A and B are shown apart, each in its own frame.
Chain A
Amino acid sequence: AQSVAQPEDQVNVAEGNPLTVKCTYSVSGNPYLFWYVQYPNRGLQFLLKYITGDNLVKGSYGFEAEFNKSQTSFHLKKPSALVSDSALYFCAVREENAGNMLTFGGGTRLMVKP
């Protein structure tokens, strides 16, 4: 069975500092990995995905994520945080050839302080 863990319920960072939101996964085969962001009272918005190829994936709003197969991780990063980045972030995984089952992590709340 596939699973995702986001070990931090909340991440606090000062505006202008780099941010990292952690995600680790478990699958039997090849993973397909996604990050989504949820702003208050809104649905989820797609940020980026890793399917194959370059381990460093660039996405929307200046975010990027690095796929690390040996550590089974897909951490979300941004070089310089903005207050407007404050939101709830979800990592998700789908295993290759596992149909349409998409498994989400529990979410990490990012708080960026001025």
Chain B
Amino acid sequence: EAQVTQNPRYLITVTGKKLTVTCSQNMNHEYMSWYRQDPGLGLRQIYYSMNVEVTDKGDVPEGYKVSRKEKRNFPLILESPSPNQTSLYFCASRKGDWGEQFFGPGTRLTVL
């Protein structure tokens, strides 16, 4: 089944404790992105990647890092999480410039 998977689905952590949210897609898509969803703000793009070893900042990259060492994986790293990073995070992938974007199920992160 074609899908984007994220882990963990739920995470509660404390300020300053480094964490990684994994994202994997099995569709051989070139493009992958991370978004955060906050009430009333819709989805805001954090980072995106157009292929292996090619990443770029989105609208709200501060406090986040990403890497794309393999085509299928695109982990999101929070080196020192803060409470304002409490949010719902989505990973997405698509094939080519205008392919349909597939979203993962989301990761709900709470930073205390």
Cα distance, A90 to B58, chains bound together (Å): 18
Binds A, one of B14-22, B62-70, B72-80, B100-108: B100-108
Task: Count residues of chain B with CB under 8 A from any CB of chain A.
Answer: 25
Query: Please, which residue of chain A has its CB at the minimum distance from the CB of B47?
Result: A100
Answer whether A44 and B42 are a contact pair too, CB < 8 Å, given A49-B98, A100-B31, A100-B50.
no
Q: Is the CB of B103 within 8 A of A101?
A: no
Contacts of A92 in B (CB 8 A): 43
Answer whether A106 and B103 are a contact pair too, CB < 8 Å, given A49-B98, A99-B56, A100-B31.
no
Q: Is the CB of A42 within 8 A of B105?
A: yes
Interface residues in A59-114 by Cβ distance below 8 A to B read 90, 92, 99-107
Query: Please, which residue of chain A has its CB at the minimum distance from the CB of B90?
Result: A43
Partner of B42, one of A32, A34, A51, A106: A106
Q: Is the CB of B95 closer than 8 A to any CB of chain A?
A: no
Contacts of A42 in B (CB 8 A): 105-106
Cα distance, A101 to B101, chains bound together (Å): 13
- 9 contacts across the A-B interface (CB closer than 8 A): A42-B105, A43-B103, A43-B105, A49-B100, A51-B98, A92-B43, A104-B42, A106-B42, A107-B42
Q: Is the CB of A32 within 8 A of B45?
A: no
Cα distance, A99 to B90, chains bound together (Å): 20
Q: Is the CB of B45 within 8 A of A102?
A: yes
Q: A43-B4, A90-B43, A102-B45 are in contact. List 20 more A-B contacts (CB 8 A).
A: A6-B42, A41-B106, A42-B105, A43-B103, A43-B104, A43-B105, A43-B106, A44-B90, A44-B92, A45-B103, A46-B100, A51-B98, A92-B43, A100-B31, A100-B56, A102-B33, A104-B35, A106-B40, A106-B42, A107-B42
Cα distance, A14 to B50, chains bound together (Å): 43
